């Protein structure tokens, strides 16, 4: 299994592994390496991906330089290899919202995690990662996202997930492919506040969307998030 590396924004590297047997068109699992004084990995990948993903990190910087390990919710592709990363990077600390730390990570992580309050900024030195609680969006009570303030990159996790092995970064519409994927997977939690939450996220007006599954997107991120909100509302009310 090969993990490909592509810089999608200044100092933000997409590490992408294509797995052909997830969906008829296959599926990408993407992690993001954020280069800064205190480098951060966003998404760990499943345990089986660790050899390929850690080799990909090693093409950009020594794995031991990692200072922060983040992810959007507790799930195998988001957090499965968390403890392998903690072992490989002795100075690294897991970082997540308060709820995930209290409910799961204080127990699951081999070293104590660093909890972040909603809206709190983790200053990496050159990059500023603002944590946003997004309970049940896309799924999981503990869910949240990071927004990098200096360049307007929104690390949106499973939001706008789409299948296949598309280009690392696109300005083409990703909403249509995301709606098609969700109609297949049903992965979006359709909580009463999901649409409103996505519209609040759209107010960030991100320049780049760093997607966990599919192409990253450069363009009208707010429009894509509002479109996803409309889709969630229409499904919930159907
Ligand atoms: Fe997920
Ligand atoms: Fe995911």
Q: What is the dihedral angle through the alpha carbons of 220, 222, 224, 225, rounded to the nearest 10 degrees?
A: 160
Q: State how far the alpha carbon of 71 is from the alpha carbons of 16, 48, 81, 97, 210, in Å.
A: 15, 17, 11, 10, 12
Q: Which ligand is nearest to the CA of 134?
A: 1
Kindly state the average pLDDT of the residues 104-120. 98
Closest to 51 in 3D by CA, of 7, 88, 26, 11: 88
What are 1-13's pLDDT values in tens digits? Answer: 899 999 999 999 9
Centre of ligand 1 to C-alpha 78, Å, is: 7
Q: Flag whether pLDDT at 237 surpasses 90.
A: no
Q: Where are the domains of the chain?
A: 3-237
Centre of ligand 1 to C-alpha 75, Å, is: 6
Give CATH for domain 3-237.
Answer: 3.60.15.10
Centre of ligand 2 to C-alpha 77, Å, is: 5
Structure tokens at 91: 């100075």
Q: Which ligand is nearest to the CA of 155?
A: 2
Centre of ligand 2 to C-alpha 67, Å, is: 22
Note the pLDDT of residue 101: 98
Q: Which ligand is nearest to the CA of 212?
A: 2
Tallying the residues shown for the chain, one arrives at: 238
Centre of ligand 2 to C-alpha 157, Å, is: 6
What are 174-194's pLDDT values in tens digits? Answer: 999 999 999 999 999 999 999
Note the pLDDT of residue 1: 83
Q: Flag whether pLDDT at 238 surpasses 90.
A: no
The Cα 130–Cα 34 span in angstroms is: 13
Centre of ligand 2 to C-alpha 221, Å, is: 19
What are 118-175's pLDDT values in tens digits? Answer: 999 999 999 999 999 999 999 999 999 999 999 999 999 999 999 999 999 999 999 9
Centre of ligand 2 to C-alpha 17, Å, is: 12
Does the CA dihedral 56-205-160-147 come out positive or negative? positive
The Cα 12–Cα 8 span in angstroms is: 6
Q: Flag whether pLDDT at 25 surpasses 90.
A: yes
What are 81-101's pLDDT values in tens digits? Answer: 999 999 999 999 999 999 999
Q: What is the pTM of this model?
A: 0.97
144 φ/ψ angles, rounded to the nearest 5 degrees:
-165, 175
Structure tokens at 238: 């159907």
In DSSP terms, 4 is beta-bridged to: 16
What are 26-75's pLDDT values in tens digits? Answer: 999 999 999 999 999 999 999 999 999 999 999 999 999 999 999 999 99
């Amino acid at each position: 299994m090969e993990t490909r590396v592509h810089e999608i924004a200044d100092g933000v590297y997409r590490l992408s592994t294509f797995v052909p047997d997830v969906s008829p068109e296959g599926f990408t699992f993407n992690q993001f390496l954020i280069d800064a004084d205190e480098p951060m990995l966003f998404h760990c990948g499943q345990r089986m991906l660790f050899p390929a993903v850690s080799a990909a990190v090693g093409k950009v910087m020594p794995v031991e330089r990692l200072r922060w390990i983040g992810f959007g919710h507790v799930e195998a592709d988001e957090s499965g290899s968390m403890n392998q990363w903690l072992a490989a990077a002795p100075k690294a600390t897991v970082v997540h919202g308060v709820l995930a730390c209290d409910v799961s990570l204080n127990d699951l992580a081999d070293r104590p995690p660093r909890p972040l309050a909603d809206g709190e900024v983790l200053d990496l030195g050159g990059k500023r990662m603002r944590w946003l609680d997004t309970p049940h969006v896309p799924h999981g009570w503990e869910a949240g996202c990071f927004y990098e303030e200096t360049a307007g990159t929104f690390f949106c996790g499973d939001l706008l997930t789409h299948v296949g092995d598309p280009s690392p970064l696109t300005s083409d519409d990703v909403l249509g492919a995301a709606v098609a994927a969700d109609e297949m997977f049903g992965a979006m939690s359709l909580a009463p506040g999901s649409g409103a939450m996505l519209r609040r996220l759209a107010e960030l007006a991100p320049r780049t969307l760093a997607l966990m599954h599919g192409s990253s997107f450069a363009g009208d991120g707010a429009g894509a998030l509002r479109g996803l909100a409309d889709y969630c509302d229409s499904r919930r009310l159907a």
